[in-house]
Amino acid sequence: MSHRKSGVLLHPTSLHSPFMIGDIGVSAMAFVDWLARAKVGAWQLLPLSPPDEGGSPYSSRSAFACDPLLICLQSLSDQGLLSESELSELSLEAAELPQGQSYRDAAQARHGLLLQRAVERWLARGAQAQAELQSFRERAEWLGDAALFEVIGALQGGAPWWRWPAGLRDRAPRSLKQVKARRSDELERYEVIQLLFDQQWRALKARCAERGVELIGDMPIYVDHNSADVWAHPQLFALIEDKASHRGEARFIAGVPPDAFSEVGQRWGNPLYRWDRMKASGYSWWIARLSRALELTDRVRIDHFRALSAYWEIPASSVDARQGRWVEGPGLEFFDALRAALGDELPLIAEDLGLIDEPVRALLEATGLPGMKVLQFAFGDGPDNLYLPHRHVERSVVYTGTHDNNTTRGWWEGLDDGLRHHVSSYLKHIERDGPTWGLVRAALASVASLAIIPAQDLLNLDQGARMNSPGIAEGNWRWRLRPDELSEALASSFCEMNQLYGRAST
């Protein structure tokens, strides 16, 4: 990391559009143009995979597929796949909803219906459509398993794959062949939806390249137990194998140990990897996963990097995380395998937050990857806190806060008077700029090569605009821009600050 740049953290669902949820089409293109005018060189996203029922993109039924609701309906209309009257009806419904949030549940039904119509019209184009689909299948080796998983899951009433009939659970060739023969239409429709996403995403990525905007993706370290990934590759995960009636159930799961925030730790429930088998296969699944991520984005943030040094192993039968233990992770040889496959300069960012010990720091140093510095974590622990700006290093990424933090304004409003005084003493310009822009300015002034600012902080929004509150199940992942909230005046102001601190994109 040499050239200094700034970036904005904003998931596509948070973009404003005429419909019920942000997407990767017209509004995303406009956002990229806004970033270019503000001389911003990076756009950081949350995972693009289909989210869980609560809307979390960090919990998905596929680590390779992408969220169909991000497909832009207006772009489909421009292709002749939807009519203007169909869109106007939906936009009228959306206009009646309160602004400032997305409506995934409603979009699932209304957008989903229009998306299916678009797929049918696309398939009606005949030989040319089939040729495009076949080409996509050949490029996307993951597509067949992802489609099968979704179709079988629907046939089984949403039951997790380890509760399916044995032939389907264990991927018996005869059972899968029957599904492919009997459900070919459903499988094909799933594949077309992923192709339509791919086409729109490629157009968006090309616009980013034209405007000098780097796309930064996000990759959860673990995958969901009930996912196409674990179903298709059960041998790579810590599952029960020797008891037929329990085959596929988790043996060990992920989490973190008890700490100052939780007396019982955190029991995440994701199945742990069989790193011995990953190694024996040359880490081929991980190489495929990262290759897919780097098709979509230019760089990838790996969540919970510390698990690659050592991870907390919890017996699946445990009710909480207290019965876990630390187990050594794959370490540097994992990154050596990635370099051999993907090139010496791995375009990765390590999320090195949380319980970080010396072995984790040593692994980060050995990999040469940039870590993260979060300014909301910098104050209150004395002058040796590594997140304080005077402790930053060039090979790092500085954030005012992340998607899991409160907005900076909300954070400031929740501080006690003593901590506010400490922050103000350290960042004297807060008295002039206010707390939010005080932290933004501190991030831009840092020696860290990359400074990422959540869009909510650029807009100085309060805690009502928070994207996610960890540990709280309801009300997350909904915040959304209002019309024209990212104004030209804001682009001009941010451009001036990027120029002032040597972060202006070229």
Q: Catalytic residues, which ones?
A: 303, 351, 404
Query: Long-range contacts for 485-488 (Cβ within 8 Å, ≥24 apart)?
Result: 485/16, 485/459, 486/31, 486/34, 486/455, 486/458, 486/459, 488/37
Question: DSSP code of 287?
Answer: H
Residues 6+ away with beta carbon under 8 Å from 313: 252, 272, 324, 325, 326, 327
Amino acid at 348: L
Question: DSSP code of 98?
Answer: P
Helix (H) or strand (E) holding 239: none
Residue 236's nearest CA partner among 248, 219, 246, 245 is 248
Query: How many Å apart are CA 196 and CA 72, to the nearest integer?
Result: 9
Judge contact between 235 and 277, C-beta under 8 A: yes
If phi over 0 gives left and psi between -120 and 50 gives alpha, with beta otherwise, what is residue 267? beta
- The H-assigned helical ranges of 212-331 are 228-232, 275-280, 284-296
Query: How many Å apart are CA 160 and CA 153, to the nearest integer?
Result: 7
Query: Long-range contacts for 27-34 (Cβ within 8 Å, ≥24 apart)?
Result: 27/72, 28/72, 28/204, 29/203, 29/204, 29/207, 31/486, 32/204, 32/207, 32/208, 32/211, 32/213, 33/207, 33/211, 34/486, 34/491
Query: How many Å apart are CA 197 and CA 67, to the nearest integer?
Result: 8
Residue 462's nearest CA partner among 406, 387, 403 is 406
